[in-house]
Amino acid sequence: MVNPNQNKIKNMQEQKQKMKEKLKQRKKEIARRIEKEKNKKMEKINLEQEKKKTEKKKTEKKKFGIIYNFYYEGNEDFENSLTNLTFFINRTLDNTFWKKPKDVNKKLFFIFIINTPLNGFVIPKFNNVVVIENYDNDPINTETLFMERFRIEVENILTIDSSFSGPFIDPNPNTFWFNKLSSYVVEELDPIFSKTNSTTLNDISTLLKWENPADEDVLPVPGTNYALFCHYDENNFVQDYVFTELYCLKKLGYNILFNSTSTKLTNEDQLFDLVEKINYIENISVGTEFNILYNNLSYLENEQIQYDNILFVNDSVLFPTNGLANMRETIINMQVHDIWGHWDEYMPTSKLQFIYSCFYHFKYSVSRDIIQYLEEWLPRCTNRTEYINYIEWRMPNYLFNKKYNVGSVVVFNSLNINNPKFNKIITHSPSVIGRWIFRPETFAIKFKYILFFLNKNSQYLTPQFWYLTRFLYVGENKVNYYHKEKSGLYISRIY
């Protein structure tokens, strides 16, 4: 006889087993659904990723390479080659021209191969620009160049050299210049790129708004006047803008004593018709210009040469930025002062702001006192700080205290600067220069301080300014001439 309790226990065990089986099946079903949902999500993610990759591939800019070979033969070819290079940089690397076109579907990478020295010409260093100095004309494999330098593959390469002028394409808000090219062989791109001739050079001059101030028809400044010009160039070369300045000084009637820290100028012969005397001077850094001033004034005194005025200037000053006639008028108007400069600068404890030593203009009557001051203080100066403190800052005060009339074209107190900081180049700071550079009486800038803050395509700067800076780079880069490797510019050799 079966025990009823045993049947009951057996039934309960069977029901329990069935429940376990159902629970197990339910867990499997839940796991299956979760896996299904997971697979759906992954499939959706994969589809989205593939879609993004496809869209990216459609919108990604194709990469193209441009190789620019720079070389020249002789002085005339040098100027033409520089003209072509500066126009090419202006028209292709200037973002303000080609930033907005809707069809910018190509990304350009530039390699400039410099086969003959540029002597100070500057090229902007952007992420898509490389400069190679190849003065020994070593063979270069251009097919692998972009992979070696940029780690990229390019669709095609346009190779240009400095015997071609271009690109002659009007900036258009809807069309990128590179899309206008029907070929990547420069000889097939006329008239966008053309072999250099008088027409292309004239077109470049017009498009870049160049007017040579030395071509202006002006009378000399009255009197017998001497210009003591200080030139610093470790490449032993006189730059284009310096020649323009010398031509302008000669036209204004100045007899020029040209002083250079170069060992021997390679283009010295071009100076013979412009200057009265060439002196080669040892470069001792900041004190060099004061030694030049002392030696030149002593030379004129010892030779008993009579004169009315002295202009003392160095090649860090760019002039005449507002035209030669304007410069002449200002020089004549400033003759009410015994000694004057183009700018004075903030001095907190002085009645007189100090005058930049890069530009002095003074009468014969002041010369003897300058010589005496330099005789006393030059031997005491042994470093940069002492030359600045004891001579550049104190000499104008010394002359002021001797009752000479001291002045400047750009008077610091006329600039309305709140809370100026001592020992800062305030007049040439980007926020201040606009307060005076367009004044009609001004004619110069200290270009190493400010050139790279100016708007490259400003409608307000003069054609004379653009001519003076035609082989320098204006805009977009801040240059530190004491740390050139951090400047954001390629500066050929030593500048």
Q: Per residue in 316-352, pLDDT tens? A: 899 999 999 999 999 999 999 999 999 887 665 555 5
Asked whether 311 and 250 are in contact (CB, 8 A), the reply is no
**Average pLDDT rounded to a whole number, residues 277-305:** 93
CA separation for the pair 124, 338 (Å, rounded) = 43
Scanning 60-169, the segments in alpha helix (DSSP H) are 74-92, 95-98, 145-150
Angle at 375 between CA 371 and CA 379, to 5 degrees: 145
Over the chain, what is the mean pLDDT? 84
What is the reported pLDDT for 487? Answer: 37
Q: Cα–Cα distances in Å, from 233 out to 239, 290, 375, 388?
A: 9, 17, 27, 21
What is the reported pLDDT for 483? Answer: 40
What is the reported pLDDT for 481? Answer: 39
493 pLDDT above the threshold of 50: no
Q: Per residue in 380-396, pLDDT tens? A: 998 888 888 888 888 98
Comparing 250 with 262, the larger pLDDT belongs to: 250
Total H helices, total E strands in the chain? 13, 18
Q: Which helix (H) or strand (E) holds 302?
A: helix 288-302
What is the reported pLDDT for 14? Answer: 72
The number of angstroms, rounded, from the C-alpha of 86 to the middle of its chain's C-alpha atoms is 12
Edge-first strand listing for the sheet containing 157-161? 129-133, 106-114, 62-70, 157-161
- Could you give the count of Cα atoms lying within 13 Å of 405 in the half-sphere of its Cβ? 6
Helix 364-377 to helix 394-401 angle, to the nearest 10 degrees?
A: 130
CA separation for the pair 239, 375 (Å, rounded) = 32
The number of angstroms, rounded, from the C-alpha of 267 to the middle of its chain's C-alpha atoms is 24
Q: Of 456, 455, 460, 424, which is closest to residue 442 (Cα–Cα)?
A: 460
What is the reported pLDDT for 485? Answer: 41
Q: Which residues in 358-375 are b (16+ Cβ under 10 Å) and which e? A: bbbbbbbebbebbbebbe
Of the chain, the end-to-end C-alpha distance in Å amounts to 119
Q: Of 493, 495, 491, 430, which is closest to residue 124 (Cα–Cα)?
A: 491
Asked if the bond preceding 167 is cis, omega within 30° of 0, the reply is: yes
Most confident of the following: 112-126, 292-306, 373-387: 292-306
Q: How many C-beta atoms surround the C-beta of residue 262 within 10 A? A: 18
Asked if the bond preceding 320 is cis, omega within 30° of 0, the reply is: yes
Q: Per residue in 78-124, pLDDT tens? A: 889 999 999 998 888 876 666 666 666 788 999 999 888 776 666 77
What is the reported pLDDT for 119? Answer: 64
Q: Per residue in 29-77, pLDDT tens? A: 777 888 888 888 888 887 877 776 655 555 578 899 999 999 888 777 8
